[in-house]
């Protein structure tokens, strides 16, 4: 699994990305979930596992909207534990099937 391809569509140099109302509501839902979790943890010093599940689900939705990518290591393998990058980043990982 080497990183041989790059996205065909690069992000423009604009400072803002236009989102649909539906996508904006999904980002807002993630924001509210993060705030609720932080408030609960701050008050109780405990984490509710159902909140973690909800947070993971909403994080995945946001990942799908923005197409965040894993980072490529110097050897071409994906760096699963590193922070994600934008799809047009030079270190963005894309799976390439080998024949």
From first to last of its 99 residues, the chain has per-residue pLDDT tens of: 444 455 545 555 555 678 899 999 999 999 999 998 999 888 888 888 898 899 899 999 998 888 888 899 888 888 888 889 888 888 888 877 665
Residue 29: its pLDDT value, please?
Answer: 92
- Distance CA(29)–CA(90), nearest Å, equals 30
- Distance CA(86)–CA(48), nearest Å, equals 30
Burial class for 72, CB neighbours closer than 10 Å (0-12, 13-18, 19+)? buried
Phi, psi of 92 (to 5 degrees): -70, 130
Which structure tokens are listed for 76? 């071409």
Phi, psi of 76 (to 5 degrees): 95, -10
Domain assignments of the chain as residue spans, ordered by start: 21-66, 67-99
């Amino acid at each position: 699994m080497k990183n041989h391809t790059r996205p065909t569509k690069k992000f423009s140099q604009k400072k803002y990305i236009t989102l649909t109302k539906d996508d904006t509501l999904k980002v807002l839902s993630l924001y509210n979930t993060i705030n609720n979790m932080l408030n609960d943890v701050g008050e109780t010093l405990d984490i509710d596992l159902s909140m973690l599940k909800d947070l993971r689900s909403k994080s995945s939705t946001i990942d799908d909207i923005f197409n965040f990518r894993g980072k490529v290591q110097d050897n071409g393998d994906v760096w699963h534990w590193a922070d994600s990058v934008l799809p047009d980043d030079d270190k963005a990982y894309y799976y390439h099937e080998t024949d």
